[in-house]
Structure formats: C-alpha cells, structure tokens
Structure 1
Amino acid sequence: MLYRWLMTGAWLLLVLLALPVQAAPQGSPEQGDVRLAIDVSGSMKDNDPDNLRASGVRLLVDLLPDNVRAGLWTFGQQVANPLAMGTVNDQWRQHALSVLPQLTRYEQFTDLESALNLATQGVRGEGRTHLIVLTDGMVDVPALSDKPARDRASRERIIKTLAPDLAGRNVVIHTIALSRNADTDLMRAISQQTGGLASVAEDSRALLRSFLDVLNQVAPRQQLPLEDGRFQVDDQVQEFTALIFHDQRDGPITLVSPDGERLSIDDPGVASRWRHDDRYELITVPDPFAGQWQIEGPVGAGSRILIDSSLQLRSANIPATLYAHIDQPLDVWLDGMAKQGDDPSRQPVVDAVLRGAQGEITSTRLQRESDGHYRGHLDRIDQTGNAELALQARTEAFARLLTRSVNVVPVIDASLSGDQSRITLKAAWPRLTRDNTRINADLLGETLDVKPLADDRWQITLPDDLPDESVPVDLVATVALDNRILEIPLPPVMLNSDAATSLSGARLDRDAVQGEQMASSQEEGQDQPWSLQRLWHLAQENWPAARAQAMQWMQDPRAWWVAAALIVLCLLLAFRRRRLRRQRPRHRRDPSV
C-alpha cells in the first residue's frame, strides 16, 4: 500500500511541476491597440546575435504616438506577457524599456498559434487592432508524439481558421520574417488575409528597417525629403524628429541649424530629446527655425525626417499588398494648403515612386484634377518583394513626403508537390477566376496540360520521365479583365532544384534557385525519411535552442523538485523490480543423465 501511495505522489508531483505557466488574460482593448509578439526561440540567438530586435522594439516604443494602447508578448514553448496593455506615455515607455532583457530568455519550440491566440485575447473588433509578429522559424509546437503532423495541423488552423477569425475581429497582422529559415509563405498568408504588411528581413541588419516599415503602416507620419544629409524646414512645421540610422562603430552625429547652431548628444541645444542607440539617433526639435538644416556624420539608408505640421499630404487607401503587373491607382491631396488659384506655376508637383531592393521599380507624375486631387496609377510593376511607395509634393515654398511600405507578390501562387508529380496554382489576386484566366505551362518546349480544380485553383500534371537536371516550368497567365487582355508572366517553378547542374551543364547557385522557386506546399508535401544525415543536421540546428532551454530550466527552482521526483520514481521502480524478482517462483531443473 505504501508503495502505491509513493508512486501516485511522485507522478502527481511531476505532472504539476511540468504544467506551463499561462499568460494572464487581458481586458478588452480600446481603439487603436498596437500589440507586439516577439519570437524568443533558441534560433533567434543565432539569427539575431546582436539582439537588434531589442533596438527595433525600442524604436517602436519611441515613435508610437501618445494615448494609444500597446503591449508586448513573447513566445517560444510558452507565451508570456511581460508588458501588459497600457496607454502609451512617458511612464509606459520607461516600463517597456525595462522588459527588453526578457527578449533574450530563449526557449525551445515556436508555438505561433498560441501566440496569436493569447496576444489577441479579449479583442472584440470595436476598433482596429494592429498585431506585429516577429519570428525566424517555422511552426514548431511542443508534442510528445507524431510531431510533424501536429505542426502541419497547427499551421493549417492558423491559415484556415485563426487568420479569418482575427480579420473578422478587425485585427491587422503585420509580420516580420527574419532569415530564410522563416516560413515566409505562412507569414504572407496571414498578413494578406488580415490586410497587414508581410516584411522579410534577410538578416539582422535589415531588422530595424523592417520594424520601421511596419510602424509606417501602424502610425504613418508626415516627412520632409532628406537629400545628401540636408532637409528644408518651412514655417508650417511645428516640430521635427530626425531618425538617423548608422552602424555601431560610426562616428558622432551633429545637427546644424539654419543659423549655424551645432547640436550634439553632449550639447543638444534646442533639441528637446536626443536618444542614442548603437544603430540610430532620434532627435526631436520643437518650433524649429525655417530654412535648411544639415546632418553632419553618417546618414544610413532609411533615415528620415518626421514632422508635425498643419500642412499635410494625404492619400486614399493604399493596400499593403500590391500585385506584379497589375496597375495600382493613386489618389493624393493636400490638407491645410491655402488656395493657390489656377496658376499652374503655384501648384505643387506631385510624384509617386515605387522602390524595391534593387532600386526604382516604376514612377509616375500625378495629374491635378478639378477637385484639387492628384490622380494617376503605377504600372510596369515587374518586381516582387518588399518595396516602398514614396509620394512627394513640392513647390518652391515647401515639400511634403508620405511613404508606404508594401509587399509586391505574384498574382498567382504556385506550389510543387513533394514527389514532383504536379504543380498546384492558386489565385492570389482576388479578381482572377477560372472564367477570366487561362494559364499556359511550358517544360522544355512542351506544353503541359492545365486543369481547373476550383474557381480560383488550377493543377498541372507533370510527366513521369523528368530529366535529372534542374529545369524550370515556365508559366504565363492570360487574363481578360476590364475590356483588356493582359499577358502576365509568373515566376517559374524549378524542378529538381537540388540538382547540381542545369541542362546546359552549368553549376547552379542553389541559394539563388531556392530564392526564386515556389516553396513546396506543406499541405500536399510528403514526410521525408529520417536519415542519419538529416538527424545530424537537425541536432546541429537545434543544439543552441536545447542548450538555452536547459540552462533556463536549471535556473528555475522547480527544476530541482522535478529532478528529486524523478530520482524517487526511479528508486521506487528499481525497488519494485527487485521485489518481484524475489517473489518469482524458482523452477527445479531435472538432472540430465
């Protein structure tokens, strides 16, 4: 009897100590909520070794407008809420900065589904809620058995159930995918469903820019053009904030006013605030002198001059997702500008420029119409990826700049099955259907059969005798829409992408191929065999996370109780086994002759 009581107690102790600590539920938010969910899985230590995510969060904290409500969640194996929802003010900002060290308390796993659920708990949809999600990995839920299936099920619930539910509750999800290991297809899917921005930071150096891109969607600000470290302040600017990016080892920054006063972090002068970070300077100047200001020192890409002014450049809604080869209409106007009559020389010139990672993609000059609005459209959008749309109005007296971060994607998504037997196509642009779209597929000069599966889905069956080399399937969509016929080239799907050579015999750059090819659908993919080489790579990738998780677990006082319970349990099992051996009847062996 005593043995049974001890066994039961040991098991209960283990169960109770192993229970995760759940984040406390939050009350219902007010309008304009901004929520951050930051991945703290062990791989973040390798992909962001300089902890630039802390600088990114600090930048958000500094630039968030007063009186909105904001909070911070972290997620790995568990979901924590170190910064509860509160009204943004100086006291809230100080509290937010004090919790930044918790971003380096690494955990195992990446439970994105739980993070989305807990970070939006209590949201009922009365006002818009912005949720910013930073992660560097795939859906990786804790599971004792059948883990690949559980990961796929969690991913599917996020796309098919959770994201539509959050969109219905007026939650806009902006995602930042850090590194190529992140599930960018998943990030883009949930951002597009909720109307948010899907930003990709190839490495930690691009992380600050991604935070700023997302912030530009959450709380857009008027700007002044910054050219060669100079910017022109007009008499309608009430305050400006200079955000100047630089490298960690760059020299000091000096701000020179029109009357020659030199402002620095040691002698800020008329600046009401000067925050120094290893990666940026944030300088706020109220009631600035009109005229040309100059920045002396390194001025990195993405630096900008944010202003408060009664004269503002406005635009109609610009979606966070644009589609390649599809024209984007623009409608822009100025608020707070005195009427200038019909004299064209006194009217501002308004330009729109779309820039991507490789430079300018397309640009246009908007035309003024009778209602005072400037209208036009962007065409020739032939690049995909993250981009910035800059709208600028300029006269001899003033200039105003408004930027929007966007994600340019193909009009149709393609996914290759794991056994390379078929390609599934799905319309990403909602206006494409099987009735107005015809898809042509070509493999080495041979036309492949494309069959519709649903109103917005098609399937290509690939031949059995595929070549051993890496080859592309070229895709073109012919669309009949708005009394026009559009020929839209789609990104090719690479077959045998792991092959070392193409048909021409040239060595392939595998990273480049993988960057261009469409990711294989996880819904249709097949599980890969667990070879020794695969296990070794997985062990190498997960060792930092496992080690960090073990160190964190050993620092928890409960860990020693768990260890004690395990020792007691092992002793009891050994005692039980020994007693059974003693009670086992011994059989007499008959002697052989």
Structure 2
Amino acid sequence: MKQRMPYEEAGSGNRNIRPGIGMLFCLLLLMLSLPAMAARQGEVRLVLDVSGSMKSNDPSNLRANGIRLLVELLPTNMRAGLWTFGDRVANPLALGTVDEQWREHALSVLPRLTEYQQFTDIETALREATRAPGEDGTVHIILLTDGMVDIPAGSSSKPARDAASRQRILDQLAPELADRNVVVDTIALSRNADIPLLRRLSQQTGGLASVAETPEELLRSFLDVLGRVVPRQEVPLEQGHFDIDDRIDSFTALLFHDRNEPPISLSTPQSSTLSAGAPNVRWRHDDRFDLITVPSPAEGRWQINGNVGPGSRILVESSLKLAGAELPATLYQYFETPLEAWLDGGQGNARATAITAELRQQGTLIDSAILTREEDGHFRGHIEPGGISGNARLRLEARGEGFTRLRQQSVDVAPALSATLAENQSSIVLQAAYDRLDRSNTTLTATLQGESLPVETLDAQRWRANLPDTLPETSVPVELSARVRLDDATREIPLPPVWLNRDAAVGVAGAQLDRSAINAREMASSDQEATETTSGPEAWLQSLWSRIGSEWPAARQQLTEWGREPWSWGVAAALAMAWLFLLLHRRQRQRRRRRRRREPHL
C-alpha cells in the first residue's frame, strides 16, 4: 500500500481567495492538474455567439468562465481555436497546438466576448470554423448560441433568407461535416434558442445537444461537452461522501453549491478536517463551486461537510480504469442502447464483480441494468429511455473488492421519427432519426377524422402521408402510428398527432418539441408573409418592429431608463399611432388574402 502524506487541520491563519472573476481565473488555471484519461486524437474548435441577446441571457458572462475551464482542461499538444460570430465571423484565437503560450493567448482574447453584434449568422460561422480540414482524427466543434438563425437582410426578404440559411445547415452543411468526420456539440443557452435545429445538427454529426436553461447551468454544460472530448475517471459521490482506494494517486473534487453557502470542508478517513489553506492541498473557492485537488489521498471514506449541488463530481487519477465502448451522444425513445464495459489495468484482486448502468433525468431514475459478464471478460447489457425527451445522464459503475470506478456522460434523448407538415398542408413527411428504422421494418399509418390516409415511401427512411384537397377549417389532428419489427420482435411506437390549422410542432415517438423555439420560428414565418406583400411606410414599420423584437432582451433595460425622460412619452405615443396604422392596414390585406397554413418547424 502506498504511503499517504499526513494532513494538518487548517487553522485560523488560512487564507481564502476572494470570489469573483479573478478568483475563477486562478481556480481554472489550477485545473491543469486535473486527472484525465488519454484524450481522443483530434481538434477542438469553439464557435461562440456574441449577438446582443447574449448580454441578457448571460449577464454575468459566465460563458467566459466555461471557456476558461475548457481552455485549461484541453490536453497539451491537442489543436484548438476560437471563433466568434454575430453578423460577421472573427477568429481571435487561431487554430494552434495547445501549450502554455496558447493558453495565455486564449485567456487574453476573452474580453472580445462582450463586443456584441446584432445578428446570429450560424451558417457562416460553422463554414468559417470548419474551412480548414483537421490534421489528425476527429474535429470537435463546440457551438454555443442563445438564438436562432438571424442573418443580415439583403435584397430579398429577411425571413426568407433566414429560413433558407437554416435549411442549408440541415440539408447541406450537416451531412458535409459528417462526411468530413466533424462532430458538432451544441449548447443552447436558454430555451429561446432554436433547439430543434441544434438537436438535428448534433444528431447528424454524432455530437451532443445540450440545453443550459440558466446561466448557472452553463458551466455544467461545458463540462458535459468536454467529457466527450476528454473522458475522465470518477468515483461515485453519494450523500456527501466518497471512497478512495489504494490504487488512486490523487483526486480532484469539483463541488457546486449555491451562492453565499457556508464554507465547505473535507473530513479524512482519520477524522481530521481539511479546509482552504491546508498544506499539500490545492483548494480554490468561488461563490458557485469549490475545486479541491488532494495528492496521495488517504485510503478510506471521505466526507464533504457542506451543501453539495447537482453536477458535483470526484475525478481520480488511477491506473485502474473503467473502460468501454464509446457511449452514444444520442439515445432514441423506446429503443434499447447497447452497452459494453470492462476493467482496464486491474492486477491481483482488482476484478470487477459487477458493472451497473443507470439513466437519470434531473435526478429521476429512468432505467437501470446489471451488465452481464461474458467469456471475454467484458460486461454487456442495454438501457432504454422510454418516452422521455431532452438531456439525461448515463452512468456506468464498476464495483470490486475494495474499489469503485465511475464513467458518466450527458446524453440527449430524441424522437426516433420526426414529422413535418407541408406549408400548404398537402402532406406530412416522416423522417427516421434512428438509423435502424427503414422501409423494410417500419410501417406507418395515418388517419384524419376516422378516414385512412395514403402513406407512400419516399426513400429508405422517409415516408409521406398525403392529405385530401379539402380540409376542415377547424383545428383537427392527423393520427399517426408506426409498427416496427426489429430483432425478431414487433412493437408499436407512440406517435403524437399532427394538428392541422393550428400552430404546433410535434416530434414523433413521444416528444413535444420546445415551444419557445417553435413560436419564434412561426413568428419569422408570419414576418415573411407581411414582408412579401408590403412596401413603403408599412414595410419600414414592419422592419422596425422586427428589429425591436429581435433586440428586445438587450434593449429592455435601456427603454426603462429612457422612460424616466419627459420626451420619451411623446415618442412612445407617436410609435403607438404608427403601429396602430400598420395593424389596421395589415388586417385589410389579410381579409383579401387566402388564409395561409403553417408548418410546424422541427
């Protein structure tokens, strides 16, 4: 057994670092010492949204904290670079080999993240960031955005240009990137982002789609994405305690907590207490988390004294590892995902007696499995997400005599099929997202008000349900169902209905897609209607209103300040009268136009 270094309890002379941005910089700099498994060969390219709305969705600029974390944790000799985008694309950190000089340069360009721009040109940003081919292995794109495709207006209508750019990303760019071995991991900051677009982009390229609904969740999202690029070994953290065995050379505790929580301390297996300032311990404190690195830790049970938030983890450096087949970034509803794992580096009695798997969403257990040991020493099994949708956490845990090892990552649970209603409501196209579904094993049916609709096969993984020429004027559902025969078993897959004559977006196989993103897309469609049929003062007012809508989060605070000025009420009255004129004029035009039918955007 290795000799452990003695610890002294921290006395009153311990020095705490004042929390804040400077503190976080020092904290993340120390994370260079975090233990890591051998990283996949390849490159990491950060593509960051600097549109004006980011100022409102991330007012504390926590994305800079996440990028610092990412920069410091990237393995030495890996290639990486940084791109920013709004209405134009910049490359403040050129693609280069990660070393100390590169890290210093990366941290020096972070102030540019607050040089906000007006639009959100996602397509151009991806094309620029992926223009240079990767030198060796996979290229990982980490795309962070809080918005939707929003490109500068040209000679044609802006909504039409936005829609065309969005479609090119899905139909042309994503398949091209997949063919070039480019993986796009997406982070949506807030539910206002175009989550369906980001999800499909990640699915098509084999990446992870994650959602950080609040700025506080952003750092965890960066860690989740980084875990796919640089996998790490862990030991379980349960009810504030964790076990260290004699094969662990060091551990790093990353402990999240709320602001203004009492200081955290650690109790060793010998019942001594470690706190900030203890000798031989690297300890940094921030108002949102503590990072504690302990070399040559004592064997036994360690206890955390204080509140520990979700996402906390204990990373370990050890020759004994839980290895396995690469975990998928996307799981599909109602279908099993195969799992394979084994123990690597085990000697003597270091043999796994059991390997278990768990799938949880926001702490709730969705499915679990005990993997079966086979003749080759590997453990195999499967897990099924059922009908949940969105981000979840997949855990593999190996236990043996005197040790545990944990491997976990965030996954996205997505529909196995998706449905798109044609804009003129003439048909519904169904697309298989799960690659095992095709025309040889999948049969689709559709009914409208009790009448069966013809369903034709378009290609290997697409079908079309044709709608009658005359449709009801009221909102009615088209009922869909799928019969799938796989692995000598037949199953019925629940398909939500697609509604006619109603703003809706349905993900087939049990998921309702994010409504905030859908409503924003439909607003863009509505704007396109108006733009195509208006000119003169009405077109100018419509453009002004669209600009106000796109920039509303960032402008709200400024409007509040203007409201205190006497002249502001006269301006507000004039704008209100102009807008009333626009509404009346549009209503007259709409009465003369045939009512447009909407497509649920996925």
Name the TM-score class by shorter chain.
0.7 to 0.9
1:415 aligns with 2:420: yes
Secondary structure at 2:457 match in 1: strand
Q: CA deviation at 1:334?
A: 0.2
2:108 — aligned with what? Answer: 98
Alignment of structure 1 residues 541-556 onto 2, 5 Å = 541-543=549-551
1:240 — aligned with what? Answer: 251
Q: Write the letter of the residue equivalent to 2:549.
A: E
Secondary structure at 2:269 match in 1: coil
Match of residue 116, structure 1, among 116, 126, 148: 126
Distance 1:375 1:339, change over 3 A: farther
Task: Report if aligned partners of 2:421, 2:429 keep a CA contact under 8 Å in 1.
Answer: yes
Task: Report if aligned partners of 2:397, 2:404 keep a CA contact under 8 Å in 1.
Answer: yes
Q: CA deviation at 1:547?
A: 6.6
Distance 1:311 1:31, change over 3 A: closer
Q: Write the letter of the residue equivalent to 1:98.
A: S
Q: CA deviation at 1:339?
A: 5.2
Distance 1:238 1:92, change over 3 A: farther
CA distance in 2, matches of 1:306, 1:537: 50
Alignment of structure 1 residues 361-372 onto 2, 5 Å = 361-372=366-377
The root-mean-square deviation of aligned C-alpha atoms, in Å, is 3.2
CA distance in 2, matches of 1:520, 1:376: 41
CA distance in 1, matches of 2:320, 2:68: 29
1:187 aligns with 2:198: yes
Alignment of structure 1 residues 216-365 onto 2, 5 Å = 216-265=227-276, 267-271=277-281, 273-338=282-347, 340=349, 347-357=352-362, 359-365=364-370
Structure whose CA Rg is larger: 1
2:485 — aligned with what? Answer: 480
2:186 — aligned with what? Answer: 175
CA distance in 1, matches of 2:363, 2:393: 12
Q: CA deviation at 1:515?
A: 7.0
- Higher deviation after alignment, 228-237 or 165-174: 165-174
Q: Write the letter of the residue equivalent to 2:382.
A: H
Q: CA deviation at 1:378?
A: 1.3
1:429 aligns with 2:439: no
Q: Deviations over 1:33-73 (max 9, x none)?
A: 11111100011112222322122212223333333222221
- Higher deviation after alignment, 444-453 or 198-207: 444-453
1:514 — aligned with what? Answer: 515
Q: Write the letter of the residue equivalent to 1:303.
A: S
CA distance in 1, matches of 2:41, 2:327: 21
Distance 1:315 1:410, change over 3 A: same
Secondary structure at 2:283 match in 1: strand
CA distance in 1, matches of 2:438, 2:520: 22
Distance 1:260 1:58, change over 3 A: farther
Task: Report if aligned partners of 2:86, 2:118 keep a CA contact under 8 Å in 1.
Answer: yes
CA distance in 1, matches of 2:499, 2:362: 23
CA distance in 1, matches of 2:229, 2:358: 21
Secondary structure at 2:529 match in 1: coil
Q: CA deviation at 1:496?
A: 4.6
Q: Write the letter of the residue equivalent to 1:192.
A: Q
Task: Report if aligned partners of 2:397, 2:405 keep a CA contact under 8 Å in 1.
Answer: yes
Distance 1:101 1:296, change over 3 A: farther
Task: Report if aligned partners of 1:494, 1:513 keep a CA contact under 8 Å in 2.
Answer: no
- Higher deviation after alignment, 40-49 or 274-283: 274-283
Q: Write the letter of the residue equivalent to 1:304.
A: R
Secondary structure at 1:206 match in 2: helix
Q: Write the letter of the residue equivalent to 1:224.
A: V
Q: Deviations over 1:481-540 (max 9, x none)?
A: 3322121113443445459xxxxxxxxxxx998379899899999943359897676343
Secondary structure at 1:348 match in 2: strand
2:592 — aligned with what? Answer: none
Distance 1:188 1:516, change over 3 A: closer
Secondary structure at 2:335 match in 1: coil
Task: Report if aligned partners of 1:108, 1:545 keep a CA contact under 8 Å in 2.
Answer: no
Q: Write the letter of the residue equivalent to 2:208.
A: L
1:52 — aligned with what? Answer: 62
CA distance in 2, matches of 1:92, 1:248: 32
Task: Report if aligned partners of 1:245, 1:280 keep a CA contact under 8 Å in 2.
Answer: yes
Q: Write the letter of the residue equivalent to 2:457.
A: P
Q: Deviations over 1:249-273 (max 9, x none)?
A: 33322233323443333x14222x3
CA distance in 2, matches of 1:527, 1:145: 14
1:558 — aligned with what? Answer: none
Question: Which ranges in structure 2 are unaligned for 5 or more consecutive residues?
Answer: 1-39, 505-511, 559-602
Match of residue 466, structure 1, among 451, 472, 481: 472
Secondary structure at 1:529 match in 2: helix
Q: CA deviation at 1:178?
A: 1.9
Alignment of structure 1 residues 551-570 onto 2, 5 Å = none
Task: Report if aligned partners of 2:233, 2:317 keep a CA contact under 8 Å in 1.
Answer: yes
1:135 aligns with 2:165: no
Task: Report if aligned partners of 1:415, 1:521 keep a CA contact under 8 Å in 2.
Answer: no
Q: CA deviation at 1:135?
A: 0.7
Q: Write the letter of the residue equivalent to 2:303.
A: Q
CA distance in 1, matches of 2:554, 2:53: 10
1:529 aligns with 2:530: yes
CA distance in 1, matches of 2:103, 2:307: 27
Q: CA deviation at 1:414?
A: 1.0
> What is the TM-score when the length of structure 2 is the normalising length?
0.76
Q: CA deviation at 1:132?
A: 0.3
CA distance in 2, matches of 1:513, 1:151: 19
2:35 — aligned with what? Answer: none
Alignment of structure 1 residues 74-89 onto 2, 5 Å = 74-89=84-99
1:42 aligns with 2:52: yes
Q: CA deviation at 1:109?
A: 0.8
Match of residue 440, structure 1, among 441, 445, 453: 445
CA distance in 1, matches of 2:87, 2:229: 28
1:199 aligns with 2:210: yes
Q: CA deviation at 1:319?
A: 1.9
Match of residue 376, structure 1, among 377, 381, 389: 381
1:590 — aligned with what? Answer: none
Q: Deviations over 1:88-147 (max 9, x none)?
A: 344443433333222121101111122112222322453212110001111222233212
Distance 1:446 1:249, change over 3 A: farther
CA distance in 2, matches of 1:442, 1:173: 37
Task: Report if aligned partners of 1:417, 1:521 keep a CA contact under 8 Å in 2.
Answer: no
Aligned pair count reads 502
Distance 1:262 1:85, change over 3 A: farther
Q: Write the letter of the residue equivalent to 2:78.
A: V
Give the % identical residues. 54
Distance 1:515 1:340, change over 3 A: farther
Q: CA deviation at 1:190?
A: 2.1
Q: CA deviation at 1:173?
A: 1.0
Task: Report if aligned partners of 1:441, 1:448 keep a CA contact under 8 Å in 2.
Answer: yes
Distance 1:177 1:495, change over 3 A: farther
CA distance in 1, matches of 2:245, 2:127: 46
1:540 aligns with 2:544: no
Q: Write the letter of the residue equivalent to 2:186.
A: T
Question: Which ranges in structure 1 are unaligned for 5 or more consecutive residues?
Answer: 1-29, 500-510, 551-593
Q: Deviations over 1:405-449 (max 9, x none)?
A: 211111111122334443221111122222321112344555443
Q: Write the letter of the residue equivalent to 2:279.
A: G
> What is the TM-score when the length of structure 1 is the normalising length?
0.77
Task: Report if aligned partners of 2:159, 2:524 keep a CA contact under 8 Å in 1.
Answer: no
Q: Deviations over 1:158-214 (max 9, x none)?
A: 223322332233221101122222222221222122211111223323322221211
Q: Write the letter of the residue equivalent to 1:87.
A: T
Q: CA deviation at 1:390?
A: 0.2
Secondary structure at 2:292 match in 1: strand
